[in-house]
Structure 1
């Protein structure tokens, strides 16, 4: 297996001031199975309200995807006081670099999936709806298609800046003094188009931090634009569940262990294999 920690500033001529980095987990191909196999790659964006990136939504999730035979990359993106669009450009560059490394890493360039949690879901979703905007390709000096995710997994994502917003995430991303117009420009449900990648969403009904309406609103926008999606709403569960098991739970916090909601991972794997 290849394991590397790579600084974004070392792979991008356009992001030399970035402090972000990626952790890369690439399983070896085998002569006994298929030495030339090209693999699906999952790019994980942990949550943390754009003030940190959660360990619980990083390596534990990466190891689970790795166990399923996928390439996995965890992006530790820039957070406050860094502001938009820094983290978005870091994610776009990560996708771009992954495609450049397709030979060494055995990447299937048509199956690169962004997987975001909470505010990381907003980041992943932002690239999903904005990948074809000129400002990204111009900033990174690359073709638009090189930064496009082929699909998205959004776990209890921050989506809207409207009535069901997680205000803290938008404050950290844009600054507390950002105008309503600036916030609305990053309200993802308003940015969905026919070019948005197909999406797997899950949320809990009684999420007390990021209301379930965030996923419902986004799913509705996907439907209006004829973008395929799979949506799972679980009846109960706290915010930030990650894998919903001991591997990713906070110490001595049984609220993060939820066997029923943990089924999201199996469902996501089935979805990936059918897209």
Structure 2
């Protein structure tokens, strides 16, 4: 899984037919954790052809927001619309055909082969009681190659490192082939090389017309790969805008409760604590 040496500048990204179409939308969404209001009255569209990064401190509601947007939990107030329909009215299979989720942490279940774990991503596409076929296996193997795990198909998942498990989970998500990719800290367990490679991969999917929503801890990566960002302050407040407009040293200092400065590194924006 080699990271391309050159990132495509946002200004030169080609326009994909259907881009800018709203695929997923939050309407007056409020999200609570116990008695705390983490997100209040969030209204935001997520469009085809863009990558939106969600940033915030630990406990600010990033994961709960992803779970709410993907229909895994109900909102305390407001609605989520998928293709214009309330997501709460859709079946889990209907959602899974359109929305794929990469969780923050992967449960260690019974050991299977890596190929079997990736084939799970094909299940939404299978009729009831049908096993995966040759086409499904071909797709799963192709996705393993895409994440640099060709040759791992017969390995037991119990023998994988944390980073290899993460990439296998991404391969399963790619095999699912959703329109909307919902990623909870996709760079978890990955070394710097594979962090960049994974984000380049999802940047490419967004450029090809998919919708990508990802929580990230590193504002420098958000500035490099995201079209728009959503900042969650953990007290109900939120702020959304383009990566250029919303990612500023002042905004990030307020977000993380520590002084952040911006550095120009050969034309790239880099944010560091000071």
TM-score, reference length from structure 1: 0.31
Could you say which structure has the greater relative contact order, defined with CA pairs below 8 angstroms and 6 or more residues apart? 2
Q: Greater strand share, 1 or 2?
A: 2
Which one has a bigger Cα radius of gyration? 2
TM-score, reference length from structure 2: 0.31
